[in-house]
A = this chain, B = another copy of it.
Amino acid sequence: MRVLGIDPGLAITGYAVLEDGDEDGSGDGSVAVLEAGVIRTPADEPLPQRLRTIFEEVETLIGEYRPDALAVEEVFFNQNVTTAMSVSQARGVVLLAGSRIERIESYTPLEVKRQICGYGRAKKTQMQAMVRRLLKLKELPKPDDAADALAVALCHLLRERSGLRAYALPRARRRR
Contacts and interface: CB of A to CB of B under 8 A. Distances in A.
Interface in A102-127: 104, 106
Q: How many identical chains are in the complex? A: 2
Contact of A92 (B90, B104, B106): B90
Give chain A's interface secondary structure class. helix
Contacts of A81: 77, 81, 84
Contacts of A95: 47-48, 51, 89
Given A46-B104, A92-B89, A104-B46, A51 B99 contact: yes
Contacts of A51: 92, 95-96, 99
A49 interface: yes
16 contacts: A46-B104, A47-B106, A48-B96, A48-B104, A51-B99, A52-B96, A52-B99, A77-B81, A81-B84, A85-B85, A86-B88, A88-B89, A89-B91, A89-B92, A90-B92, A93-B93
A75 interface: yes
Contacts of A46: 104
Nearest to A10: B92
Interface string A64-107: 00000000000101000100111011111101101101001010
Contacts of A85: 75, 77, 84-85, 88
A15 interface: no
A51 B58 CA distance: 15
Interface string A37-72: 000000000111101100100000000000000000
